[in-house]
């Protein structure tokens, strides 16, 4: 009796937690929607039990397969891949041997050290003074305009006017190179 009671209490807590999360998320969605779009129709947030949905789907597919088999039809491989969010290599014909693991499929400890070192070297190629000068170039017109304003409304107008004119080309170049180095090193590490 005690075990059944604790399960029921646990379910009550779980349900009340789910309800609290849903209420909070829907309140946030409502606030964001009202702020940005006024009285527009907004989505609602709700949690669902994945196990229940998957079980129902599997039972339906089992019955459907049995009924289709009688008429000489069957559900396709692409249906199963799409419905159950599988990848092509996840499904094999019955009786087939599993594919041998390919190169790099084992977890290799420490293979990212060289890539991380390259990324660290790239980052350290910029001194703090260089980065500060870069940000000063980007933000100085904005800061100057804000210092000349007298109130909040005027500051917002100045921000709206100045933002499109900000020269971020050099900063974008640095960030683009950083992302490129990170992506290349990540790909190289994945190949190793």
Residue 71 DSSP symbol: T
Q: In whole angstroms, give the CA distance from residue 33 to residue 41.
A: 8
Q: Tokens 């000349």 appear where?
A: 148
- Assess contact for 107 and 128: CB atoms under 8 A: no
pLDDT given for residue 28 in this prediction: 92
Torsion of CA 151, 156, 162, 163, to 10 degrees: 150
- Sorted by sequence, the CB contacts under 8 Å of residue 77 that are 6+ apart come out as 91
Residue 45 DSSP symbol: -
Residue 188 or 97, more confident = 188
pLDDT digits (tens, 9 = 90+) for 70-121: 777 787 778 777 777 777 777 776 665 555 555 554 544 444 566 677 777 7
N- to C-terminal Cα distance for the chain? 57
- Assess contact for 161 and 141: CB atoms under 8 A: no
Of 102, 80, 103, 104, the C-alpha closest to 92 is 80
pLDDT given for residue 159 in this prediction: 82
Return the structure tokens found at 113: 């050290």
Work out the number of other CB atoms within 10 angstroms of the CB of residue 7. 10
Question: Which ranges constitute the DSSP H helices of the chain?
Answer: 2-37, 50-70, 77-83, 113-124, 128-148, 152-162, 169-191
Work out the number of other CB atoms within 10 angstroms of the CB of residue 13. 10
pLDDT given for residue 24 in this prediction: 92
pLDDT digits (tens, 9 = 90+) for 22-50: 999 999 999 999 888 888 899 998 887 76
Q: Cα 20 vs. chain centroid, distance in angstroms? A: 23
φ, ψ for residue 98, nearest 5 deg: -65, 145
């Amino acid at each position: 009796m005690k075990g059944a009671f604790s399960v029921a209490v646990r379910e009550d807590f779980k349900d009340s937690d789910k309800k609290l999360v849903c209420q909070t998320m829907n309140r946030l969605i409502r606030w964001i929607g009202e702020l940005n779009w006024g009285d527009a129709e907004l989505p609602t947030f709700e949690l669902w039990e994945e196990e229940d949905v998957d079980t129902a789907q599997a039972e339906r597919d089992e019955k459907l397969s049995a009924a289709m088999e009688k008429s000489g039809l069957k559900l396709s491989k692409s249906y199963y891949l799409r419905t159950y969010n599988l990848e092509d290599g996840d499904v094999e014909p019955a009786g087939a041997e599993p594919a041998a693991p390919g190169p790099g499929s084992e977890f290799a400890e420490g293979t990212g050290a060289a890539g991380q070192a390259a990324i660290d070297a790239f980052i350290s190629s910029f001194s703090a003074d260089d980065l500060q000068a870069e940000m000063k170039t980007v933000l100085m017109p904005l800061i100057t305009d804000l210092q000349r304003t007298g109130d909040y409304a005027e500051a917002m107008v100045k921000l709206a006017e100045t933002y499109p004119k900000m020269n971020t080309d050099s900063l974008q170049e640095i960030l683009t190179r950083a992302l490129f180095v990170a992506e290349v090193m990540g790909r190289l590490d994945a190949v190793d």
